[in-house]
């Protein structure tokens, strides 16, 4: 679809709050639900699956050394709305809609890891052979880092993810908090994904590969699929209004297949400070950042000299790209807000972090 870019504001992810605090740490309950959400000004509402009825899921923001418990609850329909290939991984002999949550990057015991065979159906009526417990425990004993959670069910992970079952999880530690990094409203988490939409706003996912052989089932698994539209935090090609100051930006590539080569059209550098495992030993000045599916990157951008300017986060498609490919744009930063009281944080280009 030919959708106009940069007409919707970027949604900022809401932080989930625990239901209660006990001797085992904060306790959360998270429901996986089907719902409708408007992803672009000119699109009808899209049917999605998400955690707590939102896409992407709510942000977990926790501290190192403070364990939490999460009860992930499947409240989804019995039938999938995307094409399920029942010829693989015994899918034909299992319930069509199954889920299990994997906290990607977490140092977690096996019973809370979210193995693909630890799936469960609505209200835990049926469970997979590796299912151990309804309430998962995350120790959060590792150093501060950007993690993420997503569906991991055997045979349908690609479909459940594409339907919307993904969210970000941040662990913070004392060392990070002692550094003079942008924080609060000056820290922007971004989840980047690609999607393709039908005219009615529904998600398109191919039922067969582009050139299927005669002996493939229908529908058949399509292991590699690139959407033609970029979605950030649940909006198609959004914009965000910011102040002329330094911002910390955490990016998760939650696309099924697509990798990105990110750069700023203003020519400004990124100061990368972290990756999947947390803060780097030293910050690195970079013009382009490569990020594969499931990877995370943590960096600073200085907008202090860009007042009243517009800066676009771009994706370098390479010299042989299709001229009709519109996935070269990701997000637009509009430096239009007045600088709030307080100095913009002083940032270092080569500073020891460990």
**149-181 confidence digits (pLDDT tens):** 999 999 999 999 999 999 999 999 999 999 999
The CATH classification of domain 184-334, taken from the options 1.10.760.10, 3.40.190.10, 2.60.40.420, 2.30.40.10: 2.60.40.420
User: Strands 270-275, 296-302: parallel, antiparallel or unpaired by DSSP?
Assistant: antiparallel
User: How many Å apart are CA 237 and CA 314, to the nearest integer?
Assistant: 11
Fold agreement between 20-176 and 184-334? yes
Residue 115: other Cβ atoms inside 10 A? 19
The pLDDT of 27-33, averaged and rounded, is 98
The pLDDT of 140-155, averaged and rounded, is 98
**pLDDT band, very low/low/confident/very high, at 16 (cuts 50, 70, 90):** very high
Burial (Cβ within 10 Å: 0-12, 13-18, ≥19) of residue 118: buried
- Nearest to 120, CA basis, from 90, 97, 87, 102: 97
Q: What is the pLDDT of residue 354?
A: 39
Cis peptide before 156 (omega within 30 of 0): no
- Sign of dihedral through CA atoms 12, 18, 24, 30? negative
**pLDDT band, very low/low/confident/very high, at 1 (cuts 50, 70, 90):** confident
pLDDT mean across residues, the chain: 94
Domains of the chain: which residue ranges? 20-176, 184-334
Residue 142 has pLDDT above 70, yes or no: yes
Q: What is the pLDDT of residue 342?
A: 56
Q: What is the pLDDT of residue 352?
A: 38
User: How many Å apart are CA 135 and CA 185, to the nearest integer?
Assistant: 32
**pLDDT band, very low/low/confident/very high, at 227 (cuts 50, 70, 90):** very high
Residue 300: phi and psi, rounded to 5, are: -110, 140
List of residues 6+ apart from 319 with CB closer than 8 A: none
Q: What is the pLDDT of residue 351?
A: 47
Do 203 and 47 touch, CB atoms closer than 8 A? Answer: yes
The residue count for the chain: 354
Residue 347 has pLDDT above 90, yes or no: no
Residue 192 has pLDDT above 80, yes or no: yes
Q: pTM of the predicted model, to two decimals?
A: 0.95
**pLDDT band, very low/low/confident/very high, at 211 (cuts 50, 70, 90):** confident
Q: Which residues pair with 248 in a beta bridge?
A: 187, 300
In the block, residue with structure tokens 């042989």: 320
- 255-265 burial, b at 16+ Cβ within 10 Å, e below that, comes to bbebebebbbe
pLDDT tens-digit map of 278-296: 999 999 999 999 999 999 9
User: How many Å apart are CA 318 and CA 135, to the nearest integer?
Assistant: 45
DSSP E strand boundaries for 165-258: 166-172, 187-195, 229-232, 235-236, 239-241, 246-253
**pLDDT band, very low/low/confident/very high, at 214 (cuts 50, 70, 90):** confident
% of the chain beyond a pLDDT of 90: 90
Highest CATH level, class, for 20-176: mainly beta
**pLDDT band, very low/low/confident/very high, at 74 (cuts 50, 70, 90):** very high
User: How many Å apart are CA 78 and CA 88, to the nearest integer?
Assistant: 19
């Amino acid at each position: 679809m030919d959708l106009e870019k940069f007409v919707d504001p970027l949604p900022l992810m809401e932080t989930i709050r625990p239901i209660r605090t006990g001797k085992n740490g904060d306790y959360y309950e998270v429901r996986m639900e089907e719902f409708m959400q408007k992803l672009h000004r000119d699109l009808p509402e899209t049917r999605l699956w998400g955690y707590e009825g939102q896409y992407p899921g709510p942000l977990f923001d926790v501290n190192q050394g403070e364990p939490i418990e999460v009860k992930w609850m499947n409240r989804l329909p019995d039938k999938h709305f995307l094409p399920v290939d029942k010829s693989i991984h015994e899918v034909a002999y299992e319930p069509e809609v199954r889920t299990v949550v994997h906290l990607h990057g977490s140092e977690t015991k096996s019973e809370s890891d979210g193995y693909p065979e630890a799936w469960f159906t609505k209200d835990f009526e049926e469970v997979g052979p590796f299912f151990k417990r309804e309430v998962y425990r995350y120790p959060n004993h590792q150093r501060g880092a950007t993690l993420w959670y997503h569906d991991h069910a055997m045979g349908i992970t690609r479909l459940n993810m594409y339907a919307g079952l993904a969210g970000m999880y941040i662990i913070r530690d004392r060392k990070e908090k002692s550094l003079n990094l942008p924080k609060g409203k000056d820290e922007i988490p971004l989840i980047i994904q690609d999607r393709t939409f039908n005219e009615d706003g529904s998600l398109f996912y191919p039922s067969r590969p582009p050139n299927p052989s005669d002996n493939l089932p229908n529908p058949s698994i399509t292991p590699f699929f690139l959407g033609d539209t970029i979605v950030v935090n649940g909006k198609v090609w959004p914009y965000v209004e910011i102040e002329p100051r330094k911002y910390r930006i955490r990016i998760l590539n939650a696309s099924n297949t697509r990798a990105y080569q990110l750069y700023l059209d203003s020519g400004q550098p990124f100061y990368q400070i972290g990756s999947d495992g947390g803060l780097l030993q030293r910050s690195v000045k970079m013009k382009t950042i490569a990020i594969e599916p499931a990877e995370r990157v943590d960096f600073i951008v200085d907008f202090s000299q860009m007042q009243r300017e517009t800066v676009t986060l771009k994706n370098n498609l390479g010299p042989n790209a299709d001229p009709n490919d519109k996935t070269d744009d990701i997000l637009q930063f509009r430096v239009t807000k007045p600088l709030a009281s307080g100095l913009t944080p002083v940032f270092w280009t080569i500073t020891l972090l460990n």
